Amino acid sequence: MAFDRRVVCRRSSFAGWGPSPDSLSPLPGRNRLDPKEWCTLERSTKRLPFADYLLAAPERVDEVRRIPKSVGAITAQTRWSRTRPLGGSDRRWHICLGKKGGLCVGKTKRGKGTKIMVVVDGKGLPIGIDIVSASPNEVTLIERLLDKRVVRRRLPRLLYDRAADSDPLRARLARRGIELICPHRSNRSKPPTQDGRTLRRYKRRWKVERSISWLFNFRRLVVRYERYAHLFLGFVQLACALTVLKRF
């Protein structure tokens, strides 16, 4: 494609096109463009080598020195001048200095956690629930769990694992009319208080483990996401209610 690069400045070329130049009123604050200065907009451009100009600093590209600083300096001005301290917010993402925690959270050998204490009946249906910190020993938590039962009938016996092997706990439960059935620990130094005839009932312990597996089918209870303990306890109670309804 060819272009005519000659300057167009002849009056004869614009004869009959629009008003005469003398009748044009100048714009305020501007100079009137004389028809002699009318010309085409096409101009020949200077070829810029890629290696010398495109990858060079703006000072080398701009020969008139109109760009005062390089692109790197301008970019550095647009960045945050000081370092954001940890604990601020960036794009609505809040970074907290404190560690995650809440009520009923305690340290264990595997990290922090919350214990879910459950008492079930002979069919494996949960009749009492409680959440406590994972740090205290379970020996001190069993009586508190029994007080939170929804069924107020007397329990003749209580099956528990080796964690409840404590003679003072057996004595306290005996005063309440409850017989504690649990195997002795391997490092027990005192004489045994239970024989093999009492431990025959311990073979029904699998019903308790089954009830615990029913509750942990709800993924909301596997990992505690709630900071407040009463919210987490509400989800545990809801899981127990759904478990009981499924068995009827």
Return the higher-pLDDT residue of 27 and 179: 179
pLDDT at 82 over 70: no
Quick check: 199 pLDDT over 60? Answer: yes
Which are the contacts of 179, defined by CB distance < 8 A and separation ≥ 6? 156, 157, 158, 173, 198
pLDDT at 128: 93
CATH number (3.30.420.10, 3.30.465.10, 3.100.10.10, 3.10.180.10) of 106-246 reads 3.30.420.10
The pLDDT of residue 123 is above 60:
yes
User: Strand 106-108 vs strand 111-120: parallel, antiparallel, or unpaired?
Assistant: antiparallel
- Give the pLDDT mean for 127-140: 92
- Residue-wise pLDDT for 167-197, tens only, equals 999 999 999 999 999 999 988 888 988 888 8
DSSP annotation of 50: I
**Model pLDDT, residue 248:** 78
SS3 for 69-94 is: CCHHHHHHHHCCCCCCCCCCEECCEE
* Cβ atoms within 10 Å, residue 236: 22
Higher model confidence: residue 183 or residue 15?
A: 183
> Which pLDDT value is given to residue 14?
46
Which residue is associated with the tokens 């370092």? Answer: 83
Average pLDDT, the chain: 75
**Rounded distance between C-alpha atoms, residue 95 and residue 76, angstroms:** 25
What stretch(es) of the chain map to CATH 3.30.420.10? 106-246
Q: Which residue has the tokens 């214990």?
A: 115
C-alpha separations of 228 from 65, 102, 107, 186, 199 in Å: 64, 6, 17, 38, 40
Please give the residue that has the higher pLDDT: either 165 or 20: 165
DSSP assignment of 198-210, as one string?
A: GGGGGGGGHHHHH
* Rounded Cα gap, residues 8 and 40, in angstroms: 7
Q: Using the predicted structure, report yes or no on whether residue 9 has a pLDDT greater than 50.
A: no
Tell me what pLDDT residue 108 has.
86
DSSP lists the bridge partners of residue 158 as 180
Measured CA to CA, the distance from residue 184 to residue 191 in angstroms comes to 10
Closest by CA position to 122, among listed 144, 153, 143: 153
